[in-house]
Amino acid sequence: MHNQINKIMRYTIYKTTNLLNGKFYIGKHQTKRPMDSYLGSGLALKKAISKYGRRNFKKEILFDFDNESEMNQKEKELITEEFISRSDTYNKGIGGEGGPHFKGKKHSDAVKSRITKHLRKGGVKGSIPWNKGLRFKSACSSVEVAGLS
């Protein structure tokens, strides 16, 4: 019976808490194992995990649903503009958006404008690619030598 339970897709709302400072992140996760090692994908949360270490974070399941739409609706109810303005949360975007559930959707014109401004200020532009100046063949050889092929 235990193996049967693990084969059913679950749609969860979870809370990951930093045990050192009390800040937390609420997110959604589709999985067959709700208590897997996934702690969240928010950028601020990932930076905090990197800084404080995984051992200093605890995940708890707040809600468990049978379908994606209920999960998305609950996240939308919980993660509001007011919620993300709090200082005790790692959440930076409102619920029901982003992540793998953003597939097939499009950014609004306002969001596109903010992304463009960010990129023009230096965002990810300006970084030098690891293979700049290498010929294609030598770049491929470097990857093979490094064991990445």
Contact assessment for residue 62 and residue 11, using Cβ atoms and an 8 Å cutoff: no
Position 141 confidence tier, pLDDT thresholds 50, 70, 90: very low
Percent of the chain beyond pLDDT 70?
67
Q: Could you report the per-residue pLDDT of 70-122, keeping only the tens digit for each? A: 999 999 999 998 999 999 999 988 887 655 445 456 667 887 777 777 666 65
Contact assessment for residue 99 and residue 28, using Cβ atoms and an 8 Å cutoff: yes
Q: How many CB atoms lie within 10 A of CB 36?
A: 11
Rounded-to-10 torsion of CA 139, 141, 142, 143: 90
What pTM was computed for the model?
A: 0.63
The pLDDT value given to residue 121: 65
The pLDDT value given to residue 130: 52
Please choose, from the candidates 77, 66, 57, the residue with its C-alpha nearest in 3D space to the C-alpha of residue 17.
57
Query: Hey, what domains does the chain have and what are their CATH numbers?
Result: 2-105 (3.40.1440.10)
Contact assessment for residue 79 and residue 26, using Cβ atoms and an 8 Å cutoff: yes
Chain centroid to CA 114: how far? 20
The pLDDT value given to residue 132: 60
Residue 56's Cβ-side half-sphere holds a number of Cα atoms within 13 Å equal to 15
Contact assessment for residue 25 and residue 62, using Cβ atoms and an 8 Å cutoff: no
The pLDDT value given to residue 97: 60
Position 12 confidence tier, pLDDT thresholds 50, 70, 90: very high
Q: Could you report the per-residue pLDDT of 47-66, keeping only the tens digit for each? A: 999 999 999 999 999 999 99
Position 129 confidence tier, pLDDT thresholds 50, 70, 90: low
Q: Between 39 and 101, where is the model more confident?
A: 39
